Structure formats: C-alpha cells, structure tokens
Amino acid sequence: MSPLSTTAFCLLLAAQALASYSSYPPRPYKFGYEVDDGYYNRHHHKEESDSYGAKTGSYGYTDAHGIYRHVSYIADEQGYRAYVSTNEPGTAPQDPADVKMYAKPVAVYHKPAYYKPQPAYYKPEPAYYKPEPAYYKPQPAYYKPEPAYYKPEPAYSKPEPKYNKPEITYNKY
C-alpha cells in the first residue's frame, strides 16, 4: 500500500467514525496537566467543554531561559479564536487569521565567538591528584559491666516437728 492510499484510508475511517459519533449529543469534559522537568522547563494544557460542544482552554510553555508562550483559545459555533502571549525572539504583534498576538520579543544578542589559537609553546600543566590519606583511629570501647546486685534472701523456714505417736500394743498373755 502506498503512503497516499494509507493516508486516504485513514481519512475515510476517521470520517466514518465522526459521522457515527456526530449523532450523539456533546458531553462536557474537563482535563488539564502541568509538567515541570526539573530543569526549569515547564509546559501545561487545560481544556474544558460544555454540553453545546464549545471548547475553551489554554496551553503553553516556559523554558529555562525565560522564553514563554501562552495560548488561550475558544472553539465554538463562531469558529476557532486564539489569543497568544509570548516573548519569543523573532515574533511581532501581528494578527494572522483569527489569532490575536501579544508579542514582546526578548532581544537576543549573540557575541561572535572568535577562535584564538594558543601559541605553539603552550603546554598545559597536568593536574596531579594526590588524595590525602584518611587516618582512621578507632575509639576504644569502654565497656564496664554493671555489678550484679541480686542476692537471694535466705530461706527462713523451720521444718515442722514430726511427732511420732507411739502405737499402743496390748499383750495377749
């Protein structure tokens, strides 16, 4: 299958899916996310829809150098309208199509980098690394056992006296 026919086939499937989906009323939804990559680069996107199919939202990014772009948009029966606020270099406050641009570009100055070769006699000194020895002197363990203070108490029990009761025997003679 050639790429053109694959594209046409995908468009046909999308049109069929859209036609079958359009018979259902729009369902309101809301979503959004914000991502910070830990290197001062951030981007975000928020959008919500109402029961009439109108969508409002915003998206944008800010990079580590302070360059930003923020786009707020509305898509409803009057069409798509966007409001762009940016300070990207090379942008101008123009209004192409239905987009309102609020551009305040940052001036970027590039200093030309001139190559200055080092003289032929220049030899950098090697950096020698000599770590300091780590002296480890373990602290003596002072263990002094506690004396045992347990002394059992003497048993003061007196044995019961045993009384032998003499048996009386009678002589038969």
At residue 17, the pLDDT reads: 62
Q: Helix or strand or coil: residue 63?
A: coil
Identify whether the C-beta of residue 74 lies closer than 8 Å to the C-beta of residue 54.
Answer: yes
Judge residue 84's burial from the number of C-beta atoms within 10 Å of its C-beta, 0-12 exposed, 13-18 middle, 19 or more buried.
buried
- The residues, ordered by sequence, that sit 6+ positions from 28 with a Cβ below 8 Å of its Cβ are 48, 49, 50, 51
pLDDT tens track of the chain, all 173 residues?
A: 444 456 666 666 666 666 655 567 778 989 899 999 888 889 999 999 998 889 999 999 898 888 888 889 988 888 888 888 888 887 777 766 667 776 777 776 666 667 677 677 767 777 777 778 877 777 777 777 777 777 777 767 676 777 777 777 777 65
pTM for the full predicted model: 0.47
The count of other CB atoms within 10 Å of the CB of residue 77 is 7
Any bridge partners for residue 29, and if so which?
Answer: 49
- The residues, ordered by sequence, that sit 6+ positions from 87 with a Cβ below 8 Å of its Cβ are 66, 67, 68, 103, 104, 105, 106
